[in-house]
Structure 1
Amino acid sequence: RASEIGTREPVHSRYERIVFDKSLVAPRGTPRAAFVCPGHPLLDAVLDLTLERNRTLLRRGAVLVDDRDEGVEAHVLLYVEHTIHDGRPAGEHDGRTISKRMIFLDFGPDGPRGHLQYAPYLDFRPLAPDEPHPHEILSRPEFAWIDEGLAGEAEAYAAEHVAPEHLAEVRDARMAALNKTEAAVKDRLTKEISYWDHRAEDLKLREKAGQTNVHLNSREAAKRADQLHARLSQRLEELALERRISAAKSTLLGGCLVVPRGLLDKMGGHTKEPPVAPSDTQAIAARARRIVMGVERDLGFEPTDREFEKRGYDIESRVPDTGRLRFIEVKGRVEGAPTITVTFNEIVTSLNKSEDYILAIVEFLENGGHRVHYLRRPFQRTPDFDVTDVRYNFAALLRRAGEPS
């Protein structure tokens, strides 16, 4: 399979050790392991085979439950794959793939609600055996809006929003890199060409004066200059092809229906009052974000609220001097609260961005004031796959946290 998909290295028939953590590649006293990460032929081949055998499951879809949603309005997540090409030849394809991204389109009864780049389904769970069957759920009048027309709406939305956004992001980054590369290529090769042109002229004059060089003559020096000219032209042509960046049409891969916990309770005849009204919870969260954004500005950073983009954090804070980003998840709790709930995606994001991730805890005091605590590397390991959220002891997190910085 590796040869079919064109991996640069073959897949071995057996591996003595493989690891997914770079720090475990060569611990003392053990054989060196293969570091399996995106781009490794073993991982690429396994992913390709898995998709080949199970892609139809994505098309069939699934019904998932959002236990954190006490409402009764369901929504649909549609998965689209979007690819960016450049102008370099790539076999039978129009261009070489330089970026491929899976985007999750969020649709509600009133139409598209936005799109997400991370895996939102990790915060949901499958239906339990004692819960309504998918057919029973889909037969309800609340789901009449879910039909085949959603596929067309998804394609139109992706063409209008996903493709331009992805293209602009990739193009900006690639163009900046290509401009630097072109400048470096021109500088280096032009200097070499000038050197050999000068060397050829110098040798020609010496040869006319009867001073021959047994190791190098003027024709050989001129030939090297010509070769460098050709090499420069070829490299500039390659860079020109790399600048021909274009977006392919998005491909709809599948989807899932996300049913809120509140709707399942309603269908089962259960009534459960949430401990805090959703509007109050949202107000507390919004107030906590405003406080943390103010703290970030006071520290000299440039914060942006990303709460509604569902990226696994709430605030993106830019360091002005370097452009580096701080990823801040905000939790607002009243003084003495027992726990803080963190979603699977928030934990995974913190582990993936461990150097720049901050858990900001806003503690609302009884006297109306508040305290802000910053905790770096808040989570130590990934939860089990079937976990949608984890509750952490509030007091224990505060003991590990420090002043904002």
Structure 2
Amino acid sequence: MRFDGTPLFPERRAYTVAYHLSSEEMALYEAVTAYVREEMNRAESLEEGRRRTVGFALTLLQRRLASSPLAIARSLERRRKRLEARLSEVRRGLVPGFPLLEEEDIEELEEFPTEELEGAPEVLDQATAARTAAELEAEIRTLKALEAQAKRLLGEEQDRKWQELRRLLESDLIRGRKLIVFTEHRDTLEYLEKRLSTFLGRPEAVVSLHGGLSREERRLRQARFAQDPKVALLVATDAAGEGVNLQQAHLMVNYDLPWNPSRLEQRFGRIHRIGQTEVCHMWNLVAANTREGEVYLRLLEKLEEQSRDLGGRVFDVLGQLFQDHPLRDLLIEAIRYGEDPEVRARLFRKVEGAVDRKRLLALLEGALAKEVLDPRRLSDLREEMERAEARRLQPHYLTSFFREALERLGGSVHPREAGRMEVTFVPPGRAGRGAPAVHPGDLPQGPGEPSRKAPGRLSGSRAPPLGRGAKGHAGGLGGVPGAGDGAGGRGGHGAPDRPCPGARGGRRPGARFPAPPLRGGEP
């Protein structure tokens, strides 16, 4: 909460957008999932390091299957080509290997995604359970059939997931506002960028952020999204969105759902942060008729239910929900054994237990700050801040003071560009010789306030020159503290320390003085 009593963070609202794959999409899903399950089963007989690496590569393939037709088609093609090259080496008597991942590597990659791994052929495309040339040939035949099926689906352009996103873009809450779309894969980012540009009819309305961009290019694209009113959509991967402030938008769609729920929290944090003034909305797209989708849908529904009761605070502890049983393990189990009703029921119970209300309240209690200000102390601090703000000398007071003083003495000043004035004439009057000194009481006390004439005869004391090295004090603003002398004192603004040419009793016409700086907060 701020000192004025308003919330420090705006409200958060999350929505689950469940959709069903078409019959053609479902056929591809079942075929690829069968391939993944078969290869995982074969990997069980491998040594631990190789089994772990093959399993992770296959889960990445399954996630690309759920991402977009382009992502799975390209993944199958790359994997097929890599295994063909591997088969050629095996036939020549070579025994090619591939880098192995440790469990810590996989956990780190789930927590801090990097596109370098996603695109690394030695991990995703070469990690196979095949040991012989015959096994490789069989796997390559399977990949060729899956690749052809995926490319047919891609050519039909009947993507149910894309259709759901398009429907969201046409909704009243999103239409005409800036929106961020998060995906896990570069191929899907390219797919969305093309389809969104076609849908909007303005390619310049869509910008993308991904890990392959330089830091400077990312900064420029982020600035375009934030400042250019023509840019409506930002498509980003997790690798590009890490640590980026995107609060110029308050609407976000998770086109791909991460298998680590803490990344949902991190994504939401890109828009829900200090300084955000709008209610933040997040939509999660999930295929309800897939094995892993069923488990994720149950999680999202429970989160949405608890979020209504707890005011959206559940998103503060998403990363702690599955510390004992990682969500990734539950989704893999669903892929391998999800057709079994008993396995499905057990997975649902684990998800519901992770999002149990009592457990959430305990996690939230641990996440809250222990030291808080009571309402009376908060009110006292707010009053002190208001009094300090009222007492602070503002730049416009100095500007008003200087102009009024100069005009009282017969001088003239005119505004120029923003923050600067031009002094066209400074009278040659000298204090005590015809030109009355000005007492501070004569001058205005603030913008728009009349001068207060001090009673009685005013003294004729001279004012010290403003700045260093003044040669003669040839006509300053008598009695006005801080006013400049007529011979060219610096005055803090870089004026020369010498008399102006031709000046006898005052500064020549046309001399320019910078006005006091008008930056907020400076005296």
Alignment TM-score, normalising by the size of structure 1: 0.26
| Greater helix fraction, Structure 1 or Structure 2 | 2
Point out the structure with max Rg over C-alpha.
Answer: 2
TM-score by length of 2: 0.21
